[in-house]
Structure 1
């Protein structure tokens, strides 16, 4: 297990007077083996921060650490370490190559480990991963379009797990799914986090979802973290007016229920 720590991370787009700050000097720590919910309205900067955490966006200032390693650095060791942080995106159809069988998409994640394996070993690993996310391994040869949205999202989770990450960044992974399907994916994330001792940064605008999966919560507004702490405390007795506003404006229905398979 590794701690994910962001220190003073700033992300700006553009230059000079036209520069826009998407993330402004954010400090955030995801404790090892826990799920940290990052919540905020659209445009608050949470997805940009997630992309900075995995190296898809280069911070204008600040550092990202996995354990004691600064993964924003240019060294080969920093790049290798950064592979231990994997991301699951909001839209699984965009994240998967529509022309590539899902088994091969999952196998791509194995390449990130840098290990040389035989074809038989790769096929066995893909079978185990698909089974772990409740996808019939016999469908490994099917294209993404043959699956439902919830199934595709679970396939992208399997691909992320193939890289054997220590940290999983999940960016709005249930926002496009029906409520019953959300429950399946959320329970899967909870089970994987517990079984694999993953450190998870979970981004969502849905406070009910964040409450269900998170040990700790940070609330973002206009590129800054305005409140953070244990999930039950932040969501039950928020100190910041913006968090209280979010709680009033977004219905919190309690724990999502698993009603059907996705």
Structure 2
């Protein structure tokens, strides 16, 4: 198990008068073997934080460390450590090559880990991964279009797990799914975390979903962390007005959720 730490991370986009701060001096820790829910409205900087963690964006200031190794550094140690942080994206259809059999897409994760098993071992590992996410291994030769949205998301999880990560970053992975399918994917994440002892950063705008999967929660607004703590403590007695606004926005039986409902 591994710990992921964001230390005073700042990310800016643009130049001159168009310069905008997406993440503003944000610090948070995803503790070893736990799930941290990062929640906030669209544009709050959540996904930018995720992309910095896996090297898809560069921080203008601050650092991201995995077990003490600075992932933002330009070193062989940092490059090897970054392989241990894998991301599952919001849109599984965009994340999977439509022309490629899903088994081959999952196998790409093996290459991302730096290993090059022979064909028989690679196919055996793909079968194991498909079974792990409850997809029939006999369908490894099918294209993504032949799967449902929930199945495609489970396939992208399998591909991320192929790299044998210590940390899984899940960025709004249930937001495009039906409620019943969301439950399947969320239950799978909880199952995988317990079985594989993963550390997980779970990003969502939905506090109800975050509450279900997270041990701790950080609330992000306009690039800054405005509240953090154990999930139940934050959601039952939020200190920041913005967190209270988010709680009131959760729909319950056709009406906004009141704090007394939690």
Residue 151 (structure 2) pairs with residue 156 (structure 1)? no
Alpha-carbon distance in 2 for matches of 1:116, 1:224: 41
Give how far 1:181 is off: 0.3
| Matched residue, 1:258 | none
Once the two structures are superposed, residues 203-245 of structure 1 have per-residue CA deviations (whole angstroms, 9 ceiling, x without a partner) of: 0011110000000000000000000000000011000011011
Moved over 6 A (4+): none
Alpha-carbon distance in 1 for matches of 2:131, 2:251: 34
Give how far 1:16 is off: 1.9
Matches within 5 A, 1:97-116: 97-116=97-116
Give how far 1:17 is off: 2.0
| Matched residue, 1:193 | 193
Residue 114 (structure 2) pairs with residue 131 (structure 1)? no
Matches within 5 A, 1:46-125: 46-125=46-125
Alpha-carbon distance in 1 for matches of 2:173, 2:116: 31
| Matched residue, 1:257 | none
Once the two structures are superposed, residues 149-197 of structure 1 have per-residue CA deviations (whole angstroms, 9 ceiling, x without a partner) of: 0000000000000000000000000000001000000000000011101
Alpha-carbon distance in 2 for matches of 1:210, 1:180: 16
Answer yes or no: is the 8 Å Cα contact 1:208–1:252 preserved in 2. Answer: no
Alpha-carbon distance in 2 for matches of 1:218, 1:148: 31
Unaligned segments of structure 2, at least 5 residues: 254-262
Q: Aligned to 1:116, what secondary structure does the other structure show?
A: coil
Matches within 5 A, 1:11-30: 11-30=11-30
| Matched residue, 2:246 | 246
Alpha-carbon distance in 2 for matches of 1:252, 1:69: 43
Once the two structures are superposed, residues 46-75 of structure 1 have per-residue CA deviations (whole angstroms, 9 ceiling, x without a partner) of: 011111111110111110000010010000
Give how far 1:252 is off: 6.2
Alpha-carbon distance in 2 for matches of 1:149, 1:201: 22
Q: Aligned to 1:190, what secondary structure does the other structure show?
A: helix
Answer yes or no: is the 8 Å Cα contact 1:90–1:176 preserved in 2. Answer: yes
Q: Aligned to 1:186, what secondary structure does the other structure show?
A: helix
Matches within 5 A, 1:31-46: 31-46=31-46
Query: Number of matched residues?
Result: 253
Alpha-carbon distance in 2 for matches of 1:70, 1:64: 6
TM-score (norm 2): 0.95
Answer yes or no: is the 8 Å Cα contact 2:103–2:141 preserved in 1. Answer: yes
Answer yes or no: is the 8 Å Cα contact 1:207–1:252 preserved in 2. Answer: no
Alignment root-mean-square deviation, CA: 0.9
Alpha-carbon distance in 1 for matches of 2:211, 2:164: 26
Q: Aligned to 2:251, what secondary structure does the other structure show?
A: coil
| Matched residue, 2:141 | 141
- Could you say if the C-alpha distance between residues 97 and 17 of structure 1 is closer, same or farther in structure 2, counting changes exceeding 3 Å? same
TM-score (norm 1): 0.95
| Matched residue, 2:256 | none
Answer yes or no: is the 8 Å Cα contact 2:110–2:116 preserved in 1. Answer: no
Answer yes or no: is the 8 Å Cα contact 2:89–2:170 preserved in 1. Answer: yes
